[in-house]
Chain A
């Protein structure tokens, strides 16, 4: 076993979130500050001790505004990670690297957004004339993220025989999990297989229930050294391994122009993630897999090594991804499709709760908890473990 600079050196010690919902009255900056404040209190760490900040390039709130409003100390590290929903675990991973390499001691990582209002949909604000990669798809009506992923989904179904029943397995499992989670936005609405099969199309072969939610809210977490974490109130979620992934010849979202478009960024991230870990996919007891769209679940199951190529669809059969009895409970808070869609940051907090033992769909004695960020875009992933 080689010594690794980052492995097990840091931990998530505080988590916080605002109400998740539609039409929240507070500003995005206010929501961010509230989530960070709750996370600091949860960790029993003072704002003045925070010296690092990490978030997404798509985060609307600037470091200066957050730091001033919350009353943070001298900030000696700040970073942002790109590619939308692919960023999440990378944000936390950058925090871990910064602490492990001595650039700072306490990092706040967060994501805040107000997106439940239809007018805020990025695809609806497209420029009149396209000069980037979108010029090869948008003039043909491949406009929304759902169109972009539906194209890959049709090909995936064609190549491997995945079915709408497999995608329904995903939607139904996450809704069941959300029903146990009072913070979820959809837990009060049961979903049946008939509901799924009769739902309106959005972009065939994907229907309404293959899509994530649009949610307002903010979530934050606190990362510090594993050494300090042992003196803080909560069981630390050790950052055992982390990786980002951007494969060769990749075009984000509209990845149709390369030899094997269905071998996505998950494969690249997974190679480094498991190489840096003392564990393999077989050791993972619970997973939060990025679910902007249901087909990302089978693709991620394959990419991170839970099953073979093309086996991600059947993997979801027989309640395999459902809590409590499934072989691998996935998205135990309801995920982006049934808890809230906050660019996957809620998945990270749920991964931490599983290690703490405080999930509303707690996998008993969970010691290895995987979280992944967006598949189909340059991505990232983290393995959280229980301190031994």
Chain B
């Protein structure tokens, strides 16, 4: 049974390798084969050299909280059930221009409302964990 969570189409060609990486427990970033520029979200052409050749390179999976929200109802039912919950943007340690949206959790299996929102701060160091919903694996983040 599907949960009603909003999930990516993991077969969309430009982004599929990212979601496949999550499935294997790897946080990958699309990288230009020609000039090495990393880009997130993925896209079909390099804005620096216009190459369309890409590879998917591993990251440290470590970063810092760039910003965060705490969402309250009205929300879609699946999200209202865990509200208020946090959502965060993480900037990667090795390349702060590579950012990911996610949620701060205590453990990979945890819910997105298990952290006391008053303890969340911009700049806190985090590392990636992976959480499965239906047939998709999402990156989430725990403090380190």
Contact = CB atoms under 8 A, between A and B. Distances in A.
Interface of A: 118, 123-124, 126, 128-131, 133-144, 147, 150-152, 154-155, 158, 200-205, 249, 251, 254, 256-259
A360 B103 CA distance: 46
A140 B136 CA distance: 13
Interface in B3-18: 5-9, 12, 15
Interface in B75-120: 75-76, 79, 84-85, 87-89, 97, 99-103, 112, 117
Contact of A152 (B41, B67, B117): B67
A139 B67 contact: no
Interface of B: 2, 5-9, 12, 15, 40-41, 47, 66-72, 74-76, 79, 84-85, 87-89, 97, 99-103, 112, 117, 122, 133, 136, 138
B101 A154 contact: no
A316 B87 CA distance: 29
Top 5 closest A-B pairs, CB basis? A135-B8, A204-B70, A129-B9, A131-B12, A155-B67
A140 B103 contact: yes
Contacts of B15: 131, 135
A154 B122 contact: yes
Given A131-B8, A137-B101, A158-B122, A150 B66 contact: no
Contact of B103 (A141, A147, A150): A141
Contacts of B102: 140
A140 B15 CA distance: 16
Nearest to A149: B69
A134 B66 CA distance: 19
26 contacts: A126-B6, A128-B2, A128-B6, A129-B7, A129-B8, A131-B9, A137-B87, A138-B6, A139-B7, A139-B8, A139-B138, A140-B101, A140-B103, A141-B71, A142-B69, A142-B101, A151-B67, A154-B68, A158-B67, A249-B47, A251-B41, A256-B89, A256-B99, A256-B101, A257-B41, A259-B97
A271 B59 CA distance: 38
A130 B9 contact: yes
A154 B67 CA distance: 6
Nearest to B19: A135
A201 B71 CA distance: 8
Given A129-B8, A258-B97, 8 more contacts: A130-B7, A136-B100, A139-B5, A140-B88, A151-B68, A154-B67, A203-B72, A254-B101
A203 B69 contact: yes
B140 to A, nearest CB: 8
B32 to A, nearest CB: 15
Nearest to A208: B72
B6 A155 contact: no
A131 B8 CA distance: 6
A124 B4 CA distance: 12
Nearest to B96: A259
Contacts of A201: 70, 72, 84
A18 B69 CA distance: 37
A259 B66 CA distance: 12
A252 to B, nearest CB: 12
Contact of A204 (B66, B72, B76, B133): B72
Contacts of B2: 128
Contacts of B6: 126, 128, 130, 134, 138-139, 143
A256 B8 contact: no
Contacts of B87: 137, 140-142, 147, 151
A135 B12 contact: yes
Contacts of B97: 257-259
B76 A202 contact: no
A312 to B, nearest CB: 17
Nearest to B122: A158
